[in-house]
C-alpha cells in the first residue's frame, strides 16, 4: 500500500519528514493550488533526501489546480459572520472571473469544502453581494463551489501547464487531476504529459463531484489510480450520502481491477490532538478492508500539530486492517 502525506509548513523540515518516512510514509503530495512547483523545490528536496537517508524510495505526487474554483489571495483571514453581508469580486474577496460572469441572484456557494455557505443577493459583471448563511473563518485559496450548478471551466489552468513542463525534472511520479468530469479531461492531461516528455508519470483521477461519479466507468483505461476525494465530493451531496458513494466508487474500482485512493479528514482531529478519535481509526480500517490501495493525509500533515504521529496512526491502522483481511481470506 501507499501512504502519502501532504507537504506544508508543518512538516517540511528534515527531522519531521524523516520521522514520517520511518513510520511508513511512502510518498508525498504537493498541492499546487497553494503555489508553483518551482517555489516548493526545497520541500521536495528535503523530502527526497529524508527518504534517501533511510534507504527508502519516495513517490512524489503533484495535485494540479484543474477545473476547481477557489477564492484568490486575501491578507491574513476574513471572518464571515452568519447573517452578515460580504462582497466578492472588485473591492471584496477575489474570485475567478468565470464566477462573476455566471453568478446569479439566489445562487449559493460553499466555501472551504463546505465549512461556510453564502447566497448571492445581487450581482453584476465585477461584483457579487452575498449573505452569509453559515459563517466561519476564510483564508486565501480556499475552494468556492456553486451548489447545484455546473460551471464549465477548462481542464488545466495556465499555472498547471507551466507546472507540467517541469514535473519531470522535479522527479514527479504522479499527477492528480481534480474534478475529473469526463474522459476528455484525462485525455487532455495525458496529451500534455506526453508533449512534455513525461509520459511515464502516472495519472490520479480525483472524483470530486457527481459528474465524475457518473462518468467513472469511462476513466478506467485512462487513469492509473482513482482518488475518492471526500472533501469536495462531500459538497456535492448531503453528507450522509457520502459513505454510500465512497463504497460505490470502491466497488466499481474493484470490479475494474483499478487501484483507488481514499483521502480527506482521515485523521482530522489530529490537526490539534496527538490521538485520533475511535471513528477515525475505524474509517481507515474500513477503507483498507474495502480495497483502498493508497491513503493520503492532507491538513493533518500540511498544517497540523502532529504530522508524524498522524502518519504513524494511518500506517499502523492500515496494517492492522491488512493483517485481519489476510486472516479472514484464508
Ligand atoms: N503548499 C502549501 N503551502 C502552504 N500551505 C499549504 C500548502 N498545501 C496545503 N497547505 C495548507 O494545508 C491545508 C490543507 O491542505 P489541502 O491539500 O487539503 O488543501 P485544500 O486547499 O484545503 O484542499 P484541496 O485538497 O481540495 O486542494 C490547506 O488549506 C492550506 O492551508
Ligand atoms: C483532497 C481533495 O482534494 C478533496 O478531498 O477534495
Q: Which three cell numbers stand for residue 206?
A: 480525483
Looking at residue 320, the DSSP 8-state letter turns out to be: H
Q: Which CATH number fits domain 2-67+154-329: 3.40.50.11270, 3.40.50.280, 3.40.605.10, 3.20.20.60?
A: 3.20.20.60
Q: What is the predicted pLDDT for the residue at 19? A: 98
Q: Where in the chain is the domain with CATH 2.40.33.10?
A: 77-146
Residue of 55 and 327 predicted with greater confidence: 55
Contacts of 104 (CB under 8 A, 6+ apart): 120, 123
In short, whether 33's Cβ falls inside 6 Å of ligand 1 is yes
Quick: pLDDT tens for 57-74: 999 999 999 888 899 999
Give, using CA atoms, the residue closest to atom 1 of ligand 2.
229
Instruction: Please state, for a pLDDT cut of 70, what percent of the chain lies above it.
Output: 98
Read off the pLDDT of each residue in 315-320 and give the average, rounded to a whole number.
98
pLDDT classification of 235: cutoffs 50, 70, 90: confident
Enumerate residues 6+ apart whose C-beta is below 8 A from 124. none
Residue 151: pLDDT band (50, 70, 90) is confident
Report pLDDT digits (tens) over 66-96: 888 899 999 999 999 999 999 999 999 999 9
User: Residue 67: what pLDDT?
Assistant: 82
pLDDT for the residue 74? 93
Residue 326, pLDDT above cutoff 80: no
Which residue's C-alpha cell is 483521502? 263
Q: How far apart are the first and last CA of the chain?
A: 20
Please, which residues bridge with residue 60 across strands? 28
Higher pLDDT, 251 or 151: 251
The arithmetic mean of pLDDT across residues 317-322, rounded, is 96
Give the ligand at the shortest distance from the Cα of 28: 1
260 versus 153: the higher-pLDDT residue is 260
**Start-end ranges of CATH 3.20.20.60 in the chain?**
2-67+154-329
How far apart are the CA of 141 and the centre of ligand 1, in A?
A: 8
Read off the pLDDT band of 145 (50, 70, 90). confident
Instruction: Tell me the pLDDT band of 318, cut-offs 50, 70 and 90.
Output: very high
SS3 170: helix
By DSSP bridging, strand 127-134 and strand 85-89 are antiparallel
Which residues sit with their C-beta closer than 6 Å to ligand 2?
A: 178, 206, 208, 229-232, 263-264, 298
Q: Going by C-beta distance under 8 Å and a sequence separation of 6 or more, which residues neighbour residue 165?
A: 196
Query: Which string of DSSP letters, residue by residue, matches 75-131?
Result: SSEEEE-TT-EEEEETTSB---HHHHHH--TT-EEEETTTTEEEEEEEE-SSEEEEE
pTM of the model: 0.89
Give residue 330's pLDDT. Answer: 54
pLDDT-based confidence at residue 328 (cuts at 50, 70, 90): low
Dist. CA 96 → ligand 2 center (Å): 19
Which ligand 2 atom is nearest residue 208's CA? 6
Residue 193 binned pLDDT confidence (cut-offs 50, 70, 90): very high
Say which CATH topology domain 77-146 has: M1 Pyruvate Kinase; Domain 3 (2.40.33)
Place of cell 483481511: 325
pLDDT of residue 134: 96
- pLDDT greater than 70 at residue 329: no
The per-residue pLDDT for range 106-129, each reduced to its tens digit, is 999 999 888 899 999 999 989 999
34 lines ligand 1 (CB under 6 A): yes
CB atoms within 10 A of CB 219: 22
Q: What is the pLDDT of residue 214?
A: 93
Segment 35-44 shows an average pLDDT of 96
Average pLDDT in the chain: 94
> Average pLDDT for residues 316-322, to the nearest whole number?
97
At 10 the pLDDT is 97
Q: pLDDT band at 283, cuts 50/70/90?
A: very high
Q: Which numbered atom of ligand 1 lies nearest the CA of 6?
A: 17
Residues 6+ away with beta carbon under 8 Å from 244: none
Cα(329) to centroid of ligand 1, in Å? 38
d(CA 210, CA 325): 30
d(CA 319, CA 330): 17
Amino acid at each position: 500500500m501507499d501512504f502519502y502525506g501532504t507537504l506544508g509548513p508543518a512538516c517540511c523540515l528534515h527531522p519531521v519528514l524523516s520521522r514520517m518516512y520511518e513510520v511508513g510514509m511512502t510518498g508525498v503530495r504537493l498541492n499546487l493550488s497553494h503555489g508553483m512547483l518551482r517555489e516548493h523545490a526545497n520541500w521536495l528536496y528535503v523530502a527526497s533526501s529524508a527518504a534517501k537517508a533511510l534507504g527508502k524510495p519516495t513517490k512524489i505526487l503533484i495535485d494540479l489546480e484543474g477545473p476547481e474554483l477557489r477564492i484568490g489571495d486575501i491578507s491574513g483571514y476574513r471572518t464571515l459572520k452568519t447573517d452578515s453581508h460580504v462582497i466578492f469580486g472588485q473591492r471584496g474577496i477575489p474570485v475567478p472571473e468565470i464566477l462573476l460572469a455566471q453568478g446569479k441572484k439566489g445562487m449559493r456557494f460553499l466555501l472551504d469544502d463546505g465549512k461556510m455557505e453564502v447566497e448571492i443577493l445581487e450581482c453584476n459583471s465585477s461584483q457579487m453581494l452575498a449573505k452569509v448563511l453559515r459563517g466561519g473563518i476564510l483564508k486565501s485559496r480556499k475552494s468556492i463551489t456553486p451548489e447545484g450548478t455546473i460551471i464549465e471551466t477548462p481542464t488545466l489552468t495556465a499555472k498547471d501547464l507551466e507546472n507540467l513542463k517541469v514535473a519531470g525534472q522535479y522527479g514527479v511520479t504522479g499527477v492528480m487531476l481534480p474534478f475529473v468530469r469526463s474522459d476528455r479531461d484525462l485525455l487532455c492531461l495525458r496529451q500534455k504529459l506526453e508533449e512534455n516528455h513525461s509520459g511515464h508519470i502516472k495519472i490520479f483521477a480525483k472524483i470530486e463531484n457527481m459528474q465524475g461519479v457518473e462518468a467513472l466507468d469511462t476513466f478506467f483505461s485512462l487513469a492509473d489510480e482513482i482518488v475518492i476525494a471526500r472533501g469536495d465530493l462531500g459538497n456535492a451531496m448531503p453528507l450522509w450520502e457520502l459513505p454510500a458513494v465512497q463504497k460505490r466508487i470502491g466497488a466499481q474500482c474493484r470490479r475494474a481491477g483499478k487501484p483507488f485512493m481514499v483521502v480527506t479528514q482521515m485523521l482530522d482531529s489530529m490537526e490539534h490532538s496527538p490521538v485520533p478519535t475511535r471513528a477515525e481509526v475505524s474509517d481507515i480500517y474500513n477503507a483498507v478492508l474495502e480495497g483502498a490501495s493508497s491513503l493520503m493525509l492532507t491538513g493533518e500533515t500540511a498544517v497540523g500539530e502532529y504530522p508524524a504521529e498522524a502518519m504513524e496512526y494511518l500506517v499502523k491502522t492500515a496494517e492492522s486492517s491488512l493483517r485481519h483481511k489476510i486472516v479472514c481470506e484464508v
